[in-house]
Each structure stands twice: as C-alpha cells, then as structure tokens.
Chain A
Amino acid sequence: MNQANRESFLRDLTPEIGKTSRSWYIVFGILMLVFIIGIYGLIRQIDKGHIVTGMRDNVVWGVYIVNFIFFMGLSYAGALVSGTLHLFRTPWRAPVIRLAELITVISLAIGPFFIFFCVGRLERIPYILAFPRIQSPIVWDVIAILTDVFGAAIFLFVSFIEDFAILRDAEDLQIAPWKKKMYRILSLGYQGTPKQKRILTFSRNVMAAMIIAIAIIVYSVLAWIFGVTLQPGWHSTIFGPYFVIAAVFSGVGLLIILMAIFRKIYHLEKYITLKHFVNLGIILFVIAAFFGYFTFSDYLTKWYGSVKMDKILIDKLFTEFKTYFIFANYIGILTPVIIIAIPRLRTINNITIASVIALLALWVNRYIIIVPTLETPFIPIQDTRHDWLFYSPTWVEWSLTLAGVAVFGMLFMIISKLAPIVSISELEEAAEKDNHKI
C-alpha cells in the first residue's frame, strides 16, 4: 500500500477530525438555533394540540407527511445510489459513495420524526408495536422502516471498517484519546489480511445488494399507504414505482449538492472533479426522464378520461395549484434535463443549480400529491371555516420542517468530525488500480 498516498488522503480528507475550525462552530450554532426554534414549535404543538398546525378535518396530513416522504425518499435514494455504485464497481465512485451512504443513514434518522409530529397522541406510538394489525399499511411501513434502519446501519458500518482501521493506525493524526479508542473498537481488529479483506468485500457486496432491494420494497410500501386508499389522485397503480423513481431523483440531486458543498469547504477539488458532477448529472438526467415519464402517464390517464373526481382534482391542480404544478412538474424536471443534455452547459455550478431546483421541485411535487387530493374528498366539503377549506401550513409546521433540515446539516457536521467524509479505503483502492494500469 502506498504510504505517501495514504498520508495525503488523511491530511486532505479529515480536516475536521483533529481540530475544529471557527466556521464549524458558527454554522453549527446557526443550525442549532433553527433546531431550537423547531423544538419550541413542537412544545407549542404538544401543549396546545394540533390546532396550532394548518391541518384540519379534510387535510389531515400536511407538510409533516410531505417531509416524511421526502426524507425517507432521500434515504432510500442514498441506499440505491451507493449500493448500485458499489455493486457495479463504478470506477469513479470512490469520492462520492461515502456521501451517498451518509445521506441514507442521516435522512433515515430524521424522516420518521415527521410521522411522530403528525400523530395526535405521541405517547401512544408504542401501541403500534404492542397492538399491531398486519392489515394496516402503516404496520407494513413500520416493519419496513425498522428493517431498513438495521440494513442501512450495517451497510454503512461495513463500509466504514477499513477507514476506522486507517484512522486507528494513523500515528501523526492529532486526535483525542477517546476517538482513538473509538476507532480501535469500531474497526473490529481489522488488519487488512487477505482473509479479512475477502470477508469484508463479501459482506459489503451482500449488504449493497440487500440495501437496494430493501430500498425499493420499503419505499413502495410507503407509496402504498396512499395507493391503497380510494382517494382520487392516490388510488393509482403507478404509485410504488413512481415514488421509487422520485426518491432517486431527489437523492441524486442532494448528492450533487453535498458534493459541491464539501468540495468547496474541504477543498476537495483534487478528488471531486467535474467528471463526478457530469457522471452523476447523467444519472440525474436519466432519472429525470423516467420521473417525467411517470408523472406524465399518471396525470394523462387521469386527465384524458372524465371520471368526476379525477376531473375535479385535475382542475384544482391546473388552477389553484398551477404555480406549484408548473414548478414541480415542468421546471423541476426540464431544468436538469436541459442542462445535462447540452454539453456546453455542463459546468459544476450549472449542475449544482439544476440539482437544487430538482430537489426543491420534488418537495413541491410531494406537496401537490398530498394536499390537493385531501382538499377534494368524494363528498364535497361544505364548511365556512377558511382553514377547513384550504390548507396552509403554519409557522409551527415550517419551524419543524426547517429543524429537520438543520438536524440533517448538524448530523453531517458531527459525522465529519468522527470519520472521513470521503472513503479513504475506496480512494486507495482506486489509486492502486490506476497504478496497475500505468
């Protein structure tokens, strides 16, 4: 193994492990503040009841469920992307695969909280485990998510073992003794012997394959929570695959955004290059095409016929929700497609901007799947209360939404202090292969 290589990797990729910079504290402090505001919102909600949210008897699920689907989608997408990159031995995966794995685990740690915010009686959540009814798609989802939590955690852990061993053996790295100890325990005595290597590679392959399957199944189950109801717009056979594709769309978008961020703040220009952005951009392009196709076929079939409820829903989407619809389903899909399709436009900045738009558009797409359907029940809403007729999220819902985003950032920052954000072992492997070629 090339010792000089390793030292430079360690120096470049672990800038936050040894010391903590001032900007780290500032950013972390801001995120913490957002998080605390969210906690205040949550306390208000628990104290006053769900009346402080914008949800009412017709729109019983609002931004919380949108966030839940969104974060779970990011998680599954991270799993799908990292699993696929790993299994297919994609040659350029080394600098980005760790980010995808981290997205998986961190989003998964956040997503379920939005379900808790949406539930009327938090203290009764354990009832789902105590009195489960297997007929209920929510129980399917609980089983699925728990499976996914374990699967993703194992997947992430086995991919970290080599790096933990590297950090354990890094003599010149200035780190606290407790961190050293942690690395020693977590590396499970890995020394890089051929047998250990074989076992580890095998485990990683198995977990990568499993995590892909789990991600697809689990996210389909989530989609079926909506698909199994009779509600117009939800009662659709396409929802399982549609949600999976949408998830990958947002996940690839987020991966590109994170690549741009870490490239900038950690000065990883040497490792994360335009090539990575273009390659992931092409994945985003393909997924956007699929996503657009699924969206189109879902709405076309609803729009073309004249079933009463479908017509009311489509009318609502094309009038009241026109802006959202255009942003989510035209701009959000076409922007990445156009930017990637024209080689001249493929710059790091452009691809990152396209990803930001794709990510936001997907959130809005989820919003206009959930809210308009609930505003058009079979029996028309006859009510005088404005908030009973039209859903609009309150500050409590927004504060918790932003808190979710803040926690995402904070967890990423904490992990960047404990482990390299780019997989050193993968980079070494890639470097060795390059050497062989020469």
Chain B
Amino acid sequence: MEKKVKDSSSRRKFIRNFGLSLGTVAVAGPAATAMGPPDTGSGETVTLLSPDGTLVEVDRSSIKKAKAQTKEQIRKSYAGIPDRKFVMVIDLAKCKNARKCVDACQEGHMLPGDHEWIKIQLLQDSEMTGKYWFPKPCYHCDSPLCVSVCPVGATYKREDGIVLVDNKRCIGCKFCMTACPYSARVFNWKDPEVDLPRDHVYDPELNVPPVEGTVGKCVFCADKLRNNELPRCVKACPMGVIYFGDINEDAVTNGVETLRFSSLMVDKHGYRHMEELGTMPSVYYLPPVNRMYPVEIGFEDLDESISDRYSKKDFKKSGKTRK
C-alpha cells in the first residue's frame, strides 16, 4: 500500500521529527539534499552533525540514507513512555468554539477535511440548563471497550494510558466504533490521498497517513509527548481551554499556566463524561460555570456547513430528513 510520494514543504520538519526521535544522525541545511542515492567516489565532502553534537566531514559517497524501520516504530509505540500516566483536562467555561484545536489536529495528522479526531459538540444537559461547547477528543479510557473488542489487537492500551490504533494491523471490522460509547473513532471510507513526505515512516504514535478501510482516532499526540511537547490541540487553543499533563506528576498545563491536577479536580469539581458507563476516561472536564463568553460567540465566523451542525431542528425543517 505505497502512497504517492511527493515533495512537500513539511518534509524537513518530518526529517527532524523522526530523525531526532530515532537517535539517528540529524541532517541539517544543505545536507538534506545529500540524502539521495550515493555517488561512487565523488571526492566531495559534506558537513554533518554527529549524535554527540560535533560537526564532522564525510565523503559524499559514503553517505547512506538512514531509514527508520516501520516495524521498530510500531514496536516502540506499544511500549508507551515510561513512568507516565497522561491526563487531559478540558475547561468548558473557556471554550468558545474557535475550532483551532480541530484545525491543528487535522493539519498535524494529515486528515481529510471531514475527519475530526477532536469534535466540538454543542451540548445541553436538560431543557432548563444552559448550552455549552464541548470539545471531545478520544478519552483514552482506562477500561477501553474498543481495545477489548478488537479481534486482532490493532488498537491497544499502553502503560502511559494512551490508546493507539495501528492502521497497518487494523482489518476495518469497525467493532471498536460500535463499542466506543463516545463516537471517538472515524473510519476511512475512501482513500484519503495524502501527499506524504518522501522520508515518512509510519508510526502509530502519529498515525499518518490515514489508510483506507481502517479506523483512526485521537492519539493524544503521542509523537509530541515523546519529545516532551504538548499535544497539537493544547498548543493551538487560543483560550487555553485544554490542559494536559501527567497524573504521576500531579500537574497539568495549557501552555500558559501549570496547575496541580488533584487540587484542580477538587476545587473546580472536575468530572468525567458519562462516568456511569464505567469506562474510566483519562479526560476530565471542568463544568461550564462562570463562563468567559456567552455560548453565542461560538457561532460567529463559522462556516455554514459547521454552524448548521448545531441547529438540527432547522435542519429537519429544510426537508433533510429520512426519505
């Protein structure tokens, strides 16, 4: 299932990401062009950065492309990051449906425009209570039904709490999608036609590219976490809605402020969505109280296709019902 390979501007970024995380030789500047097939005995030298940080000169002919192995990446992705237990806190009081998290996620994971690994729902718990914006990533449950029902082990729970999908293993039976009570998973109904960087190596931690006939979902940006970076949605959010952290360290951060997780949960009364289902999500919510913005602000500057989502009644009136 080789995808069309095309040069793209993000190529170097990928080299950096994957090169560094593998501990292979990082190639800087013009040397990137030297990654092609080696010429024999050219006599030219190339300056490279060695793993210990010194610059070295190497004959161009002796350079061989260091190729990261997909198998190794998958094996590594099973292990998780040692001594971590990741947790996300979403402060519903701050969310105004800016959708920057969605955009960043789609860009980072090369998702087609209609695939959302983080969705923003407009919820209302009962008739008399207020509406609120509700960002919904994968909950990376501690008792994940999706993992239990997968017949081939394509989706798995790691020690650090993250649930991943290996789309090289996934057979596309979609049982996980029916088992997940939070509709967190998306299916690739057709070939996503992603232009991959040439040196791209598949890694379930990034889960790029999406593969036709398999399931995809939020991966908590496990690739970023490996490099001690925050997930894309956390960094992209202009309101600082999403906090991310580690239960073992008892700290969460939205990139601006870092808070103690346990006291945040007590003081602001954190909760997990549909606790009664017993899936034990790793995503906590802070209730939408003392809100910074009225909920209506979330409708501003929205594409019609997006704003229509939240007005289902009008939608039915317009004749778009079951035939």
Contacts and interface: CB of A to CB of B under 8 A. Distances in A.
A127 B171 contact: yes
Contacts of B178: 60-61, 229, 231, 374
B170 A120 contact: yes
A377 interface: yes
A350 to B, nearest CB: 33
B191 A49 contact: yes
Interface of A is mostly: loop
Interface in B178-210: 178-179, 181-183, 185-191
Contacts of A385: 114
A61 B174 contact: yes
Nearest to B149: A136
B248 interface: no
Interface string A163-205: 0000000000000000000000000000000000000000000
A120 B177 CA distance: 13
Given A56-B189, A378-B274, A320 B322 contact: yes
A39 B315 CA distance: 37
B183 A378 contact: yes
Interface residues of A, number: 49
B320 interface: yes
B179 to A, nearest CB: 5
Contacts of A384: 305-306, 308-309, 315
B322 to A, nearest CB: 5
B175 interface: yes
Interface residues of B, number: 52
B183 A131 contact: no
Given A133-B150, A384-B309, A378 B190 contact: no
B277 interface: yes
A390 interface: yes
B122 interface: yes
Interface of B is mostly: loop
A60 B145 contact: no
Contact of A377 (B114, B183, B188, B215): B183
A380 B174 CA distance: 19
B268 interface: no
Contacts of A60: 174, 177-178, 187
Interface stretch (A82-90, A137-145, A211-219, A296-304): A137-145
Contact of A390 (B123, B306, B322): B322
A120 B174 contact: yes
A427 interface: no
Nearest to A230: B181
Contacts of A130: 152
Contacts of A18: none
A124 interface: yes
A381 B320 CA distance: 14
A1 interface: no
Contacts of B211: 121
B145 A131 contact: no
A379 B323 contact: no
A119 B172 contact: yes
Contacts of B212: 49, 120-121
Nearest to B304: A384
Contact of B183 (A50, A137, A379, A386): A379
A135 B148 CA distance: 6
B170 A121 contact: yes
A132 interface: yes
Interface string B26-43: 000000000000000000
Contacts of A434: none
Given A56-B189, A229-B178, A382-B121, A118 B173 contact: yes
Contact of A382 (B152, B189, B312): B312
A139 to B, nearest CB: 5
A210 B149 CA distance: 28
A142 B321 CA distance: 38
Given A49-B190, A57-B187, A382 B179 contact: no
Contact of A380 (B121, B154, B185): B121
Contacts of A128: 151-152, 171
A382 B149 contact: no
Given A133-B153, A142-B151, A229-B145, A120 B187 contact: yes
Given A58-B183, A120-B212, A120-B214, A390 B173 contact: no
6 contacts: A50-B187, A60-B187, A231-B181, A320-B321, A374-B178, A379-B136
Interface of B: 114, 119, 121-123, 136, 145, 148-154, 169-175, 177-179, 181-183, 185-191, 211-215, 274, 277, 305-306, 308-310, 312, 315, 320-323
Which 9 residue pairs across A and B have the least CB separation, nearest first?
A120-B172, A120-B213, A49-B190, A138-B151, A51-B190, A60-B174, A136-B151, A51-B189, A121-B213
Given A49-B212, A50-B189, 10 more contacts: A130-B152, A131-B169, A133-B150, A136-B151, A228-B179, A320-B322, A378-B277, A379-B121, A384-B308, A384-B315
